[in-house]
Amino acid sequence: MKVTILGCYSATPRTFTNPTSQVLEINNHIFLIDCGEGTQVELRRNKVKFSRINHIFISHLHGDHFFGLVGLVSTFRMLNRENPLHIYGPKGIKEAITLQLKLSNSWTDYPLHFHELTNTDSELVFEDDKVIVKTIPLQHRIYCNGFLFQEKLGDRKLLISKVVNYDIDKAYYKSIKKGKDVVLPDGSVIPNTELTDDPAPAKSYAFCSDTRYDEDKISLLNDVTVLYHESTFLESHKHLCQRTGHSTAIEAATIAKKANAKNLILGHYSTRYGNIEHFREEASTVFENVVIGDDGKVFEF
C-alpha cells in the first residue's frame, strides 16, 4: 500500500504548497482522493500515470479540495482517454463539472460517471474483488465525507512442498487456495491448514479531511493500518477548531489512539505556520507512530 501526497495544505494554493490531493495505491488499484487546484500538475510532477486513475473520491466541495477536478476531467479528454471515469462526491459535484464542460463545449469522449453522496451515515461506495470503499461521515462546515479503503483478504498461501509431497494435481490448487480440504484417492482427507498458510493480512487506509474532533467515527476506524487525519491547527490555535470545523494535531493523534490505528499521517496544515515539524511534536505526545505528510512525500506500508 502506497500513499503519495500531492498536496496537504489548507485554504489556497501557494508558490510552494498545494491544496489537498493524494494518490492511494492499494491492491493494484490507484485511487485519487480530493483534487485541489494544481492537482494535474502535481500528478505529472510525481509521475502518476493519468491512464491508471479510474476512481476519484472528493470529500467536500470547498475549493481547496475540488477546484482542480474540472481541469483534470478536461485533460483526460485531451489525452484521448477511453476508460470510464468514476467520481464520488457530494451532491452538486455533477452540476458543477458538467456546467463547465457545457460552457466550454467540451464534452468528454469517455464515459464519465458521477456517484453523488448525500448520506450522513457511512455507506459502501465501491466494491470489487480486491477492495471495498466506505464513506466516513465527517463534521465540517459543509457536507463532508472521509473515505475508508479496505483490502479484501487474498487467497490462502499454497505450501508448494506440501502439495508436491502429497502429489496433488495442479487442477486442485485454485480450490485449495480458496480454503478447500483435499480428498485423496484412498478417501483420506488432508485438512486445508496443512497445505496452506494464512493470506497476507488485509491493509486499510482511512482519509479524514476536513473535520472537527469527533469520536463518532472511531468505530469505523478501528484497527486501521493507516489513518490520514487533518491537523489544521497547533494547540495554540485550538480555539479556532469549532468555528472552522477543523482539528489540532493532538486531536488527530487522539483519534488515532482511540481507534487503535497502526500509523498516523498528518496534513491539511494552516499556512500560518512556518515549521510543520511542530505538528509531529505535538501529536507524538499522544500517539507514537505519527509522520508528517508533505507535498511530494511518498509513504509505503
In angstroms, give the least distance from the CB of 130 to its own copies: 31
CA distance 238 to 123: 31
Told to judge if 295 belongs to the known catalytic residues of this protein, a careful annotator would answer no
- Of 21 and 225, nearer to its own copies (C-beta) is 21
Q: By CB under 8 A, what part of segment 214-243 binds its own copies?
A: none
- Does 229 count as an annotated binding residue? no
- Does 237 count as an annotated binding residue? no
- Of 103 and 164, nearer to its own copies (C-beta) is 103
CA distance 263 to 128: 25
Classified as helix, coil or strand, 216 is helix
Bridge partner list, 233: 248
Q: By CB under 8 A, what part of segment 139-158 binds its own copies?
A: 141-142
Is-cis flag, bond preceding 294, omega within 30? no
By DSSP bridging, strand 131-138 and strand 124-127 are antiparallel
Q: State yes or no: residue 286 binds its own copies (CB under 8 A).
A: no
Q: What is the 3-state secondary structure (H, E, C) of 64-85?
A: HHHCCHHHHHHHHHHCCCCCCE
Binding mask 13-52 for its own copies (x = CB under 8 A): xxx---------------------xx-xx--xx-------
- Does 62 count as an annotated binding residue? yes
Is-cis flag, bond preceding 210, omega within 30? yes
CA distance 293 to 287: 15
Report the interface residues with its own copies, using CB under 8 A: 11-15, 37-38, 40-41, 44-45, 61-63, 67-68, 70-71, 74-75, 78, 90, 92-93, 95-96, 99-100, 103-106, 141-142
Annotation: binding site for Zn(2+) = 60, 62, 64-65, 140, 210, 268
Q: Which residues are catalytic?
A: 64
